[in-house]
Chain A
């Protein structure tokens, strides 16, 4: 995960994403004290970044793996927020249309699925609370498996298939990976790498930890 931890500044910052440990800090990082909390004012210009406000004095910008850079303009008053303000669920939802590597946003999106189905007035089965729990449990397990091996994590697209399941989708070139979490907690996985619906698609039900690691490697090999 590329993370640049910054303190507020009135000047624009240009953050570079290099390898997974790349960090660039602003020159004023050590000038802040707990007794003089800044009011982080932030806006991320560009479509490739997501952000989390993690504490009263720190804004952490997640720089997606593969992104060259992210421009941050701290002074734009339209995007001002106070140090104690967490992003609302709706703001997280709006942001998550973009690529991210934040597991927190994924968890928030899962929570919001029932309201998303209601919002769209869809003739779909809603996603039950127990399915939400199962989906969060699965994605945390998968995320932990991937990141504990120091591999890069990308957030999935979170949705439902309309039948009460939670779906997680990733795309990488011609490779598509989808997990389905059923209301009974059963997880299945579809991989696709070409046009043909049988010869170039495969399905695994209840993938093991080893399966999950192999699947992730298969997906990421398409970078």
Chain B
């Protein structure tokens, strides 16, 4: 059993420097796309800031062109219950959680999960959108940071 992830913990998510993942708005703001949280297993990976010296470049994994966004664990959990419809037509409530999932080469690794796990893609779409909305830039991708404001 891994140590629980505290509500106060900051999480980092890598955003490749590719236009698929962000867009600059008229205001100059760089918006994070929902595609930055795509995950076929529906368990987006993140890194726990307190286990990587609060250094977002840890999450770049050597790719200095990549951007990094942060999320507060509490805000992820506060997204609320996701409802899916089971095969027998009943509503199933899924909570959103963050769990530690250390890997041999990354002790900070964690995952954003739903409990019970979402089997269907549609409800996950909502979660993806919310994660993108609460994400904040720590490091801008090279594609936009090199272009200036």
Contacts and interface: CB of A to CB of B under 8 A. Distances in A.
Contacts of B143: 94, 97
B83 interface: yes
Interface string B2-24: 00000000000000101111111
A201 B40 CA distance: 22
Nearest to B83: A198
Contact of B33 (A47, A116, A117, A157): A157
A97 B133 contact: no
Given A97-B143, A167-B35, A198 B23 contact: no
Nearest to A156: B23
A167 B19 CA distance: 13
Contact of B26 (A48, A157, A169, A197): A48
Contact of B31 (A66, A160, A162, A171): A171
Contact of A97 (B19, B28, B78): B19
A64 interface: yes
B52 to A, nearest CB: 23
B18 A119 contact: yes
Contacts of A192: 129-130, 133
A69 interface: no
Given A47-B28, A47-B149, A163 B130 contact: no
B126 to A, nearest CB: 5
B34 A178 contact: yes
A75 B124 CA distance: 50
Contacts of A119: 18
A215 to B, nearest CB: 15
Q: What secondary structure prevails in chain B residues at the interface with A?
A: mixed
A56 B76 CA distance: 53
Contact of B40 (A120, A124, A167): A124
B39 A162 contact: yes
Interface residues of B, number: 39
Contacts of B83: 198
Interface in A165-199: 167, 169, 171, 176, 178, 180, 188, 190, 192, 195-198
Given A159-B20, A190-B125, A197 B82 contact: yes
Given A47-B147, A66-B26, A197 B20 contact: no
Interface string A114-158: 001101101111000000000000000000000000000000010
B111 to A, nearest CB: 15
A99 to B, nearest CB: 5
Contacts of B139: none
A67 B26 contact: yes
A93 interface: yes
A94 B142 CA distance: 12
16 contacts: A67-B26, A94-B143, A119-B18, A124-B40, A160-B38, A161-B38, A167-B35, A171-B25, A171-B31, A178-B129, A188-B122, A190-B126, A192-B129, A197-B79, A197-B127, A197-B130
Interface of A: 47-48, 64, 66-67, 93-94, 96-99, 109, 116-117, 119-120, 122-125, 157, 159-163, 167, 169, 171, 176, 178, 180, 188, 190, 192, 195-198, 201, 203
